[in-house]
Structure formats: structure tokens, C-alpha cells
Structure 1
Amino acid sequence: MNILITGAGRGLGYELTSEALERGHAVVAGVRLPNETKLTALAEKYGERLSLVELDVTNEEGIAALAIQLKEKGVSLGAIINNAAILNSRNTQIEQLDFNDVALTMDINVYGPMRVVKHLLPLLTEKDAAIFNISSEAGSITHAYPGDYPYAISKTALNMFTQQLHVYLQKRGIQVLSIHPGWMRTDMGGEEASLDAKESARGIIGQLEQRRTPDSRFMFVDHEGNPMPI
């Protein structure tokens, strides 16, 4: 399977890339600065199975150019994992919220995956193809809490985009999921988090391979494939 992963340079994105390569898949690793990433070590180890590409999810022209470049090279995709995201305005109440932070979060966390799917969907032609949007339990309306407004609202919107894509693409056999990866020890999650990002990545890539269908009307699951409350 050829898997495109956004935000692949660190955190969960790096672990997803490493896990996919270890399992024998090929990866198109999207990063903003291809020359400044620890993925270079993986490139040396796995050779042509890892392609490092410049991919800024806020740059639609760049994403469109990448799609053309991949098509010209004859690249087809078996999966797109929309992983790139930002978490800002932590512990900021609504009275102090800076809407520049809100706009930036929506641009990356919601519009980013939409841009990627818009331009790369035509390349998603391998059998049993899938789109995985990395979401968060923070996006669950059922478990809403005050705080993290930009991040939580962006993930709720991302879950809606997932559901729309599911309806749109199910006749083509393309699976679409929103995945809560767990509270992970990454730059975003912090050192006190309970889950190793490697473990989360293992579960997510496992879901790609096993193509499990959620026992739920909503396409929102955790990293092990268990249904999440919408």
C-alpha cells in the first residue's frame, strides 16, 4: 500500500510513517521543510519506499502542484492520513480568546484535510483505499468541555467532514474514518500523557490493513478501532 501522511516530520506523523514502512508499505511523507526532519534517517534505511515531499496543508497551490507531480510520476495511493494539526490557545477562556488563533487552527485542522482530499482524491485508486482523519476526543459534542476552543471545534468540524466523505465515497469502496489517537507523549500531548505514540501508530496502521468497520453509524473510532461518541 502507498500511504500519504501529512505532518509526517514529528510526533504521531513520524511514528505512523515509521510503522507503515516497518510493515512493508510505501509512504509519501508530507512535511513543510523536507530538509529539516528526522525522517532522513528513515529515508536512508528504507530507500525508495519513502518519499519526502513538501506539503504545507495551508497552501492549496502547493498541494495542487504535488498532486500533479505525483500523477506525472505514475503514483497511486492506497491511503491518505490527514495528521497535520495545531493545538493553540490552551486554557484560554472565551473572554480572552484571540480569533487569529481560531482562524489559524481552522485553516490547518479543517481546511487542511479538505485541501488535501480535494486535490489528492483522484490518486486514491488502490484496492480497499482509505482516508483516515486524525481527530480527537476533544471533538466529541457528547464530551464537550470549556476550553481548547479552537482545537475542539476544529476536530468537531473534521468529524463532520469525515461523515460527509463517508457518504460520498462509500459506493467507491473507500473507507473514511475519524480517529482519536489517544492522549500521547508528543510535543502536543506533553510528557504526562498516558500513551506512547508508537502504540497509537501501531493501532492506526493496523486498522488500515484490517479494514475494520465501526460498530456505529458514525465513522469515529479510537486508535484500536473502538467507536467514539460523536
Structure 2
Amino acid sequence: MKIILTGANRGLGIHLVKTALERGHTVLAGVRTIQEDSPINLLKKQYPDKVYTYFLDVTNEESVATAAKLAAEDVGSIDGIINNAGVLTERGKIIEELDFENVKFTMDVNVLGPMRVMKHFLPLLYKGKKKTIINISSEAGSIHNAYGGDFPYGISKAALNMFSVQLSRYVKEKDIAVHAVHPGWIKTDMGGENATGYPEESANGILDILEGKIEAKSELGFIDFKGQEMKI
């Protein structure tokens, strides 16, 4: 499979890249910075014919459009999209303390970002073979399990879940699967050291879903990385 992945240079993203490459896939890695010693470049040296890197800032539509144009020239079509780029701002703040510039930034990255990616990469996905879209969501976006904190993050992931349902209905006739996936609470920069899960396990589960090895059963497409239904 040829997979476009945003937020590919750190956290869950780099583990998804590594896992995909180990499984023989081609990865189109969207990153905001490309440095010689960055994790994605090290993998590119290890898999020179399987990794393409593009400057892709999901808050900058021009960069997304340019990346899509370059991807079309490089590979012609894609089979999977993983919208992984995300931020968690204002962690632990009560609503009376929120900095709304950070709130707006969170919505820009976590909601509008995937929308920009879909706007420009869907034409390439239409040309693919085994077509799947995965939006990396979170249990924090479950209205059923809502808690009184992490306001920007929870609201943004709830909105992403809604977008995933809308997108699923939009591409229904084109044989494209759409899933909003909760990767678990994992030990990354975002998840922190107290997290109970590991990104390697989540990456394997997400790739199993992408490949169709796990049959995800959810009417609204909100699942965990093992394919189990989550409550919207």
C-alpha cells in the first residue's frame, strides 16, 4: 500500500512509519521540519525506495496542496491516508484560565488540518486500490465519556469524529473505509510517562485496521486500535 501520513516525524507518527515500512508499504511522510538526523530521515536512508518526505503543515493549505501535487508526481495514487498530526494544548487548565489563541490553534490542527488533507489528497485516493482513511482520534472526544477538562483537545476530537462520519457518508459509493481511531493512552511526548500503553502496539493495531486484517465493526466508525467500537 502507498500511505500518506501526517505528523510523521515524532510520537505515534514515527512508529506508524516504521511499522508500515517493516510491513513492506510505501510511506509518504508529511512533516513540518526535515533535518539530516531526524527520525524520518534515518528511516529514509534505511528504506530509500519506500519513503517520500514532504513539507506538510496541516495548518497551511498551500503546503498541503503542494505536497499532494508532489505525491501525484512521485507515486500517482495512494491507498491509505492516516491523519495523525495533532496537538494537545491547555492541558489541565480550567475554563476560566484558557488562552483562546491556543484553543483556536488546537481546532486548526486537529479538525481543519485533516479537512485540508482530505481536500487535496482525496483525488489520489480515488485512484488507489485498497482505500482506507484513518483519523487519529481519542477517547477524550467521546461525548458519552466526557470529563471536565482538556477542553480544546476533547472538543476538537469530538469534531473530528463528526467529520469522520460525514466523510464516510461522502465517500460511501467509492468503496472507501473511514475510521476515527482511539490509539490508547500511550507513552509519547503527548501521552506522557504515566501512560499505560505503548506506541508500538498502537501502531501495529492501526496498520492492521488499515490493511483490513482487523474487521472494525462500528456503525459510526469510532473504534480503538484493536477495532473495538467506542462510544461517540
Same fold (TM over 0.5): yes
1:26 maps to a residue whose letter is T
Per the alignment, residue 10 of structure 1 pairs with: 10
**Residue deviations 1:156-194 (CA, integer Å, cap 9, x gap):** 000000000100111100000000000000000001111
**Residue deviations 1:48-70 (CA, integer Å, cap 9, x gap):** 10111111000101111121222
Percent identity (aligned): 51
Indicate the larger mover: 28-37 or 187-196: 28-37
Per the alignment, residue 120 of structure 1 pairs with: 121
Matches for 1:65-84 after TM superposition, within 5 Å: 65-84=66-85
RMSD: 1.1
Per the alignment, residue 92 of structure 1 pairs with: 93
Q: What is the deviation of 1:214? A: 3.2
2:229 pairs, out of 198, 208, 227, with 227
**Residue deviations 1:132-153 (CA, integer Å, cap 9, x gap):** 0000000000000001000000
Q: What is the deviation of 1:123? A: 0.4
Contact 1:78 1:130 in 2 (8 A): yes
Q: What is the deviation of 1:23? A: 0.2
Distance 2:39 2:69 in 1: 26
Q: What is the deviation of 1:95? A: 1.1
Normalization by structure 2: what TM-score?
Answer: 0.96
Distance 2:95 2:67 in 1: 38
Distance 2:206 2:4 in 1: 14
- Secondary structure at the aligned position of 2:58 is classed as coil
Contact 1:128 1:175 in 2 (8 A): no
- Secondary structure at the aligned position of 1:156 is classed as helix
Matched, 1:45 2:46: yes
- Secondary structure at the aligned position of 1:80 is classed as strand
Unpaired runs of 5+ residues, structure 1, are: none
Q: What is the deviation of 1:74? A: 4.3
Matched, 1:57 2:58: yes
Normalization by structure 1: what TM-score?
Answer: 0.97
Distance 2:150 2:54 in 1: 31
Q: What is the deviation of 1:41? A: 1.4
1:25 maps to a residue whose letter is H
Distance 1:163 1:30 in 2: 24
Kindly report structure 1 stretches of 4+ aligned residues shifted beyond 3 Å.
Answer: 211-214
Contact 1:182 1:195 in 2 (8 A): yes
Contact 2:3 2:80 in 1 (8 A): yes
Contact 1:138 1:152 in 2 (8 A): yes
- Secondary structure at the aligned position of 2:171 is classed as helix
Contact 2:4 2:78 in 1 (8 A): yes
1:158 pairs, out of 160, 166, 174, with 160
Distance 2:62 2:12 in 1: 26
Distance 1:79 1:129 in 2: 6
1:95 maps to a residue whose letter is E
Contact 1:186 1:197 in 2 (8 A): yes
1:34 maps to a residue whose letter is I
Matches for 1:16-31 after TM superposition, within 5 Å: 16-31=16-31
Matches for 1:149-228 after TM superposition, within 5 Å: 149-210=151-212, 212-228=214-230
Q: What is the deviation of 1:98? A: 1.1
